[in-house]
Amino acid sequence: MSVNNPIFGTIPRQSAVGMENEWVKMFDPPKADPPTPDVLVPTNPVPEVMAAAGMQTAPPIAHTLERQLMHGMTQRTWDNATDLVFFVFRDPTNPTASGGVYPAPTTRIPRGAIFHGHTQGSGPPPHTIHWHGIEPTPINDGVGHCSMEIGDYTYQWQPNFIGTYFYHCHRNTVQHFNFGLYGLLPIMPPDAYFATQKNPAIPIGACRDGKFRTAANLGIIRGPTGGEVPIDPGAGSGFEGAIIANPYPGFIGGLLTDPDPLREFATNPHAMTVPYDAEAIWVLGDRDSAWSALADDARATFPAFGPHPGIDDDFARKPGRDGFFAFNQFNPDYWFITGVPVPAHRGGTGRLPNQAVIPAELNSGISGTQVPIDARIGQTILIRCLNGAYDVIEVTFPVDVTIIAWDGRSLGVPPFGFNHPYFVPAGTPIHMSVARRFDCLIRSDSEVHGVATVKFLSARHGGRLGTAPVAVTAEIPVNIGPAATGTYSVSGSAFSSRTGEALPGVSIVLNSNAGSQTAVTDASGNYSFSGLVNGRYTVIPNLAGFRFSPRQREVTMAGANQSGQFFRGRAM
């Protein structure tokens, strides 16, 4: 045998003749600014809700998100050793995001809304936005070689599944993704945001019953198969063990096709959803400072078609230096959890601070979303975890968790749920490669003061724990403290004084010296306020077109729950 004279000769490169157009478009996609074909009138309420809350200016185009890319940004590393260059999205309507942030603002949209994203690209060659996991037509999918790069374009789609997605630039992804052009994209229940528009007392992002909800089928949760069967929570199988009683209160089953009891939506917006009390977002990122240093030559990785496509295309724009091969071999040396630096060098372990809260302005208006978990006994905690790192990761929780969804598809929801949620015991690593994401729930009856460990493993070493070196270990504090002591609840219902039928959708305001809060009666006409300390409260019902008797109730809390606080409503 001989490298210079091989036995079987030369295997020629395939021909591009007759397909020069597709050949060129593949590696040198055109920039274009077309109008949106098959256009609809957008209905996404989020920009308007954000504007009403003073978190952004009035949207320049109604019901339309604005994203500009890209914008350069440098950030000093945690060890003060260097500056990392980030490529980021700008939102010109949002003062907090107008200079760009890493990761990009979390963008939430209610399921079923018509989404329009007006996107403008500038700077080093064109961009796109790919809404990862959202599945629209190609021109709205943000892949340059399947449509075009921008330019100026308004993406259009309608999210059909509640869950966790992300958005990122799909051009030259070695830079434009890894350098920070990505953000989380949770799809919320259909009545989120619309509920706040209808009743400003409903917290932004909560449903019309005042609760934050996400999709899940908690009808059947299974634990690990017993015996010697290895379990891989990242793959889902190996969980055919005992059925676990659902520990998460408030789960609503039914079918997605069930009618809406309030007749506001095409179907019941709360079918197959579970409420949560606390939410954490873990967007895992990694950076190679050697790559960052190449950022000034951002065009180096862009091949160009030649005068005779397929024959003389220019695949080495800078042959004297790096050519477009500048980004050989990724060796990360800085790591992030949702933008919070992991304070550790390669091979080390770094712990995040105990508390970090995502500003509402960067979270589609939702307050209180955490990075490290700081919650209470008995609360339902939702964690959305995205591997935005090129490394493979292993996440290990200090508490039992229930995996309810992968990649925006909740497990076990008919008619597509040929699977089921599963219970992952504390200490079991969950393994996943880049771009994968899971949603899980935690609820603990006892105090937890520990850390979730996130091990970053090199993808090019196969990414398997035990064979791939652990690049770094991040520790994310998980603290579940005692429930607030000495708290009680007020509950009751609203019903028609004529027919006795339940009155759902009645806004119930609870006033006290400590302030005001609002609940909404559910499909059975019931409402409840919990976590109340002893004292005097006023409860006031309100529903447009109805008069209630009594008009309000005075409740004195003295060491016991106050139930049966009902109201009769009569149409005016």
CB closer to other proteins out of 161 and 397: 161
Window 461-500: contact mask with other proteins (x via CB under 8 A): xxxx------------------------------------
User: Per rule CB under 8 A, is residue 309 in the interface with other proteins?
Assistant: yes
Q: Where are the alpha helices (DSSP H) in 212-361?
A: 289-292
Distances (CA, A) of 407 to 162, 234, 288, 305: 10, 12, 26, 36
User: Per rule CB under 8 A, is residue 260 in the interface with other proteins?
Assistant: no
What's the rounded Cα separation, in Å, for the pair 344 and 472?
Answer: 7
Nearest-approach distance from CB 49 to other proteins, in angstroms = 19
Residues 428-457 touching other proteins, rule: CB under 8 A, are 431-436
Total binding residues toward other proteins, as defined by CB under 8 A: 138
Q: Which of 294-302, 362-370, 485-493, 564-572 is the region at the interface with other proteins (rule: CB under 8 A)?
A: 294-302
The single residue among 54, 138, 347, 531 that binds other proteins, judged by CB under 8 A, is 138
User: Per rule CB under 8 A, is residue 253 in the interface with other proteins?
Assistant: no
* Contact by Cβ (8 Å): 454, 394: yes
Q: Which of 53-61, 295-303, 543-551, 553-561 is the region at the interface with other proteins (rule: CB under 8 A)?
A: 295-303
Residues 6+ apart with CB under 8 A from 510: 490, 516, 517, 518, 519, 529, 532, 537, 538, 539
User: Per rule CB under 8 A, is residue 139 in the interface with other proteins?
Assistant: yes
The single residue among 156, 364, 453, 562 that binds other proteins, judged by CB under 8 A, is 156
Nearest-approach distance from CB 317 to other proteins, in angstroms = 10
The single residue among 69, 70, 101, 134 that binds other proteins, judged by CB under 8 A, is 134
Letter for the amino acid at 91? D
CB closer to other proteins out of 461 and 547: 461
What's the rounded Cα separation, in Å, for the pair 240 and 238?
Answer: 6
- How many Å from the N-terminal Cα to the C-terminal Cα in the chain? 95
Residues 6+ apart with CB under 8 A from 293: none
Residues 6+ apart with CB under 8 A from 480: 373, 375, 376, 377, 379, 381, 399, 442, 444, 447, 448, 449
User: Per rule CB under 8 A, is residue 306 in the interface with other proteins?
Assistant: yes
Residues 377-406 touching other proteins, rule: CB under 8 A, are 390, 392, 406
Extended strands (E) in 378-427: 381-387, 392-396, 401-406, 409-410, 422-424
The single residue among 45, 117, 183, 234 that binds other proteins, judged by CB under 8 A, is 234
What's the rounded Cα separation, in Å, for the pair 422 and 243?
Answer: 9
Residues 63-122 touching other proteins, rule: CB under 8 A, are 111-114
Nearest-approach distance from CB 551 to other proteins, in angstroms = 39
Letter for the amino acid at 48? E
